[in-house]
Amino acid sequence: MMSVLLLFVFPTKAPSLPEGFCTPIIAFEFIQTKTEVIEMFGSENITMRTEMARAMDLGNWLDYVYMCLYSAFLLMVSVTCARLSKNKYYYAGVVLTLVVLAADALENVQLLGITANLSTGNFDSQLRLLHMFTWIKWGGIALIFLALSPWFLKGGRFSKIIGIMGIISFILGVAAYINRSVINEIFSLSVALMFILMIIYCFTYKTDKL
């Protein structure tokens, strides 16, 4: 429900996006230079720039709720895998989730800082920190999927699909880090797909162990 809400809150169009991007919020998270920021929000139309910044800010404030929800989900999946398998290895997902949550929160601080300083262009420090926190978040999520993949790979057909998808998502994340491009969009879609598959799995998984 929060995912759908954010789809309506975040802007769907922008005056200009970095090459390879088609989703404004994804482009904003992976943005690298001041020129890209200025072109993305529009340097000439002040009204458009203000409206887009306001939509981004609202979405990023709501994202604090969203990050708590998806982090709780990943944490509980990791704990449940550890409990059912009696393998402490899966608690690595708990540690990674806490790191991801902190990074996501700090990422939003940088995004809000950039929009607050659009008129002055004084957001160089936010851009530097944004790159770090963004990749800790996205990279951490990809690592969680990779860490959980052994659990899914030992299951049935649907479970194996999730395990393979988790590995693919991690590979896409590495590729996106090496070469920022349309791969970043594909990577973000693979992450969204993984969450959907894992949610379905949670509702369909059955065990005799209580």
pLDDT in tens, 127-181: 999 999 999 999 999 999 999 999 999 999 999 999 999 999 999 999 999 999 9
- Give the tokens for residue 202: 């949670």
Q: How far apart are CA 87 and CA 80, in angstroms?
A: 10
Average the pLDDT over 71-90 and give the result.
96
Average the pLDDT over 26-38 and give the result.
95
> What pLDDT does residue 208 have?
57
Residue with tokens 């065990």: 207
Q: With 80 as the cut, is the pLDDT of residue 43 above it?
A: no
Among 26-40, 85-99, 118-132, 195-209, the range scoring the smallest mean pLDDT is 195-209
Residue with tokens 């200009």: 16
CB atoms within 10 A of CB 17: 18
pLDDT tens-digit map of 189-202:
999 999 999 999 99
Average the pLDDT over 15-21 and give the result.
93
Specify burial of residue 177 (Cβ count, 10 A radius: 0-12, 13-18, 19+): middle
> What pLDDT does residue 206 have?
80
Q: Which residues contact 158 (CB under 8 A, 6 or more apart)?
A: 200, 201, 204
Among 1-5, 63-67, 99-103, 141-145, the range scoring the smallest mean pLDDT is 1-5
Alpha helices in 86-120 (DSSP H): 92-116
Distances (CA, A) of 175 to 20, 36, 47, 163: 14, 21, 37, 19
What is the share, in percent, of the chain residues with pLDDT greater than 90? 87
Of 67 and 42, which is predicted with more confidence? 67
> What pLDDT does residue 46 have?
80
Amino acid at 53: A
**Averaged confidence pLDDT in the chain:** 94
CB crowding 61-76: b at 16 or more within 10 Å, else e:
eebeebbeebbeebbe
CA dihedral 61, 203, 79, 138 (to 10 degrees): -40
> What pLDDT does residue 210 have?
42
Q: Which of 106, 103, 121, 104 is nearest to 34 (CA)?
A: 121
